[in-house]
Amino acid sequence: MAPLILRAHHINSAKLLFKTPREKIIEVMGEFEYIDNQFDPFINIVYRNLKDYFERLSQKIRLKIGGLDIICESCKKHERNICKPNRTGKYSIFSSGNSYGRDADVQILDKYGLKIDRTYTVKEIRQAANF
């Protein structure tokens, strides 16, 4: 089976899903304008994809920087052309806070000692990110 291709910054999103109650995740997604309301379909996309993928320890994932993946493709910030997934440098996609485009992926890879375009098992990623 081919590995799932996933932007590295989604590791922190998956980590949050495993350590935070669903209601709090929905609240945070609303605060950061990823969803319009508590019934927004993007909530289920995130849960169905990230949570399911990161529950399967033998699932293979290839980490990348920039571009779109299965999560980013469905994100309102992408649909509204607010997020620039290939942009480098600091820019804001939130009303409060900043995103770093491709740099966010690089920061996560560095933080957890992972490499771009390398295939890992979910177990290896979860061990590196401690969740």
Number of domains in the chain: 1
Which sign does the torsion angle of CA 88, 9, 62, 83 carry?
negative
Domain with 68 in it: 4-129
- 67-117: per-residue pLDDT in tens? 899 999 998 888 888 877 776 665 555 554 555 578 888 889 999 999 999
Taking Cα atoms as reference points, which of 2, 12, 3 lies closest to residue 108?
12
Quick: pLDDT tens for 39-50.
999 999 998 889
Contact in structure between 91 and 83 (CB atoms under 8 Å) = no
